[in-house]
Amino acid sequence: MYEAVIFWVCAVGAVVTGVAVFRVDSMARATFALLASFVFAAIPLLLLGLSYLGVLVILMMIMEMVVMAVFMIMLMMNPAGLMPMTMVHNQRGSLVIAVGTFVVLATGVLLVDWPQRQGEPPADPTFALGEALMGSHMLVMLVVGLGLFATIVSAVVLAHPRGRYDRFGDDLSRRPADDPIRGVGR
């Protein structure tokens, strides 16, 4: 019973805050409305017994949205994001896409022949889900993760305007290094 109440509160909350993202006139409010929507979507995971995933989604979403708020407001066209703004661009097109996607997904939910539950839920659903998703592909996943990380690092290194020859001279012997500032960002 209480699970159903929590689920519906979260479902309605997620939709309402999701709509609020496009109704509010401030970048900061839009960001945190989106965050609230994500948190509402994470709580049903806890109801499914996926406590690790649920708490992790909350953790990562908060962190991600705060970092995103910093960059969004920094890069928005209005000064520091302090001016009223709207999140909606290409209003007609986005409306069509949003309504279309919703209709397709909703009809899918109603029309699909959902399977009946067979057997009992596992003792540790998070572990079972991890095995189902990763299973024998764990090594592949780890290598892919490492590859992605290496890509990020090399992209930053390539994009950085100053290299070690700028800092230490042509024969890398200049000490102390020629840095515009002390600390990071040199």
117 by Cβ neighbours in 10 Å (0-12 / 13-18 / 19+) ranks as exposed
Asked if omega into 176 is within 30° of 0 (cis), the reply is yes
- Binding to another protein in span 31-50, by CB under 8 A: 32, 35
Q: Which stretch binds another protein (CB under 8 A): 3-11, 64-72, 129-137, 147-155?
A: 64-72
Cα separation of the two ends of the chain: 59
Cβ 62 to another protein shortest distance, Å? 5
The stretch near another protein (CB under 8 A) out of 11-19, 55-63, 133-141, 145-153 is 55-63
Q: Tell me which of 12, 19, 28, 144 binds another protein, using CB under 8 A.
A: 28
**How far is 66 from 83, CA to CA, in rounded Å?**
19
| Shortest Å, Cβ 72 to another protein | 12
By beta-carbon proximity to another protein, the closer residue of 11 and 51 is 51
Max Cα-Cα span within the chain: 73
User: Of 23 and 100, which CB lies nearer to another protein in the complex structure?
Assistant: 23
The tokens of 1 are what?
């019973």
Q: Is 4 in the site for another protein (CB under 8 A)?
A: no
Q: How many CA atoms lie within 13 A of 180 on its CB side?
A: 7
Least separation, in Å, of the C-beta of 56 and another protein? Answer: 6
Short-list 24, 48, 46, CA closest to 35: 24
Give the binding site for another protein (CB under 8 A).
26, 28-29, 32, 35, 51-52, 55-56, 58-59, 62-63, 65-67, 69-70, 80, 82, 124, 127, 181-185
